[in-house]
């Protein structure tokens, strides 16, 4: 399997290196024959070639079996016209990665801030919505007709809504889950979220064996705090999914543990759920769990796509090693109340893989 590796900015190179070490270790154990190709993106690419997303990168991602993307500091990039392209958005559009799968679950031995254990998955639409780099054919989706007026366009399509809800039900069937919650704001966004709900109901009618419900996003944000255990699979539009998944991951223990996989019909991109944290870059204190877990999700996707069970076994082994490492206070990183740095935590995960 050919895996494209894009390190990104800030702590990206550190946690990407940690993830590669874990993948190399599990690759030997399960005979995965992984081949890694590294290409520069972000600020290093901008300095070297005048753009944060060199044109060859997208083609390389199309040709690869999967891609691993480190966090990027896109808020520090210049305007797109000056080479500041957000690699994450460009890959999601260019590969049509319409589904962002974000699990949130409590881990054994690691007390979460929430009152009850939770185990849910948020299926987030990834290619439209309020995000200004994904709502227009030409130009950004935000603009100022006068110096005192700023407008933002929200794009919701029938095809985009239908396929993301279908992806949520397919995930529930594949993973043995039983309940789908469609999250919306149709009481205010009556037209756009009305269309989303219309599509969700049409899809739900094809899956009568699943429990289906609809909830307003405000209520879900509150209910996640009160009792997130009532949710199983949440499907929603781009911005709502982005916000709720960060909330759910932090409630489950730490955003540093939050894995994420961007999926399309023929491509998948593993990406940490958190940002690039430039304030701690280069200090060996970043928690690499999120990207390691995301890489495990990529292995599981490869197992399904290529009917290769050993990739699924490798993914499960990584998850077990992460659980065991996090469960021990002595082997946690600082953000989880431990003392280990990035490198030492990675060694602890690899040691448990060996066991």
Q: Measured between alpha carbons, how far is 93 from 133 in angstroms, rounded to an integer? A: 9
Burial (CB < 10 A; 0-12, 13-18, 19+), residue 202, is middle
d(CA 167, CA 134) in angstroms, rounded, equals 20
- The residues that are catalytic are 131, 185, 218, 242, 246
DSSP secondary-structure letter at 239? H
Radius of gyration for the alpha carbons in the chain, expressed in angstroms and rounded: 20
> Distance between CA 252 and CA 329 in Å, rounded?
17
CA pair distance 346, 22, nearest whole angstrom: 7
Other CB atoms within a 10 A radius of the CB of residue 283 amount to 12
Closest to 163 (Cα-Cα) out of 264, 302, 67, 304: 264
Nearest to 212 by CA among 240, 187, 232: 232
Q: Give CA–CA dist 196/235, Å, rounded.
A: 10
Q: How far apart are CA 288 and CA 136, in angstroms?
A: 34
Strand 233-236 and strand 268-271: the pairing is: unpaired
Q: How many C-beta neighbours within 10 Å does residue 191 have?
A: 10
């Amino acid at each position: 399997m050919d895996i494209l590796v894009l390190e990104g900015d800030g702590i990206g190179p550190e946690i990407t290196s940690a993830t590669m070490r874990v993948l190399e270790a599990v690759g030997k154990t399960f005979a995965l024959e992984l081949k890694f190709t590294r290409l520069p993106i972000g600020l290093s690419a901008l300095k070297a070639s005048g753009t944060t997303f060199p044109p060859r990168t997208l083609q390389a991602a199309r040709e690869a079996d999967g891609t691993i993307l480190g966090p990027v500091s896109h808020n520090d990039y210049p305007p797109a016209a000056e080479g500041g392209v957000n690699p994450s958005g460009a890959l999601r559009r260019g590969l049509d990665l319409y589904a962002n799968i974000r699990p949130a679950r409590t881990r054994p031995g690691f007390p979460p801030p929430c009152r009850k254990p939770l185990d849910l998955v948020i299926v987030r639409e990834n290619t439209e919505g309020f995000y200004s780099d994904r709502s227009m054919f030409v130009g950004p989706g935000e603009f100022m007709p006068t110096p005192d007026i700023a407008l933002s366009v929200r794009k919701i399509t029938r095809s985009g809504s239908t396929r993301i809800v279908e992806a949520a039900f397919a995930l529930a069937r594949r993973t043995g889950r039983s309940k789908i919650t469609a999250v919306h704001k149709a009481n205010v966004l009556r037209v756009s979220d009305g269309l989303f709900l219309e599509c969700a109901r049409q899809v739900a009618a094809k899956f009568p064996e699943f429990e289906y419900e609809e909830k307003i996003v405000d209520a879900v944000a509150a209910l996640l705090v009160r009792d997130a255990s009532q949710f199983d699979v949440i499907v929603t539009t781009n911005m709502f999914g982005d916000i709720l998944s960060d909330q759910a991951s932090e409630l489950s223990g730490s955003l540093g543990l939050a894995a994420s996989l961007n999926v399309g019909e023929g491509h998948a991109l593993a990406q940490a759920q958190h940002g690039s944290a430039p304030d701690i870059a280069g200090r060996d204190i970043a928690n690499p769990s999120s990207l390691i877990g995301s890489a495990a999700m990529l292995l599981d996707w490869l197992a399904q796509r290529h009917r290769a069970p050993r990739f699924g076994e490798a993914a499960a082994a990584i998850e077990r090693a992460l659980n065991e490492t996090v469960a021990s206070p002595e082997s946690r990183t600082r953000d989880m109340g431990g003392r280990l740095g990035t490198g030492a935590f990675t060694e602890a995960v690899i040691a448990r893989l060996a066991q």
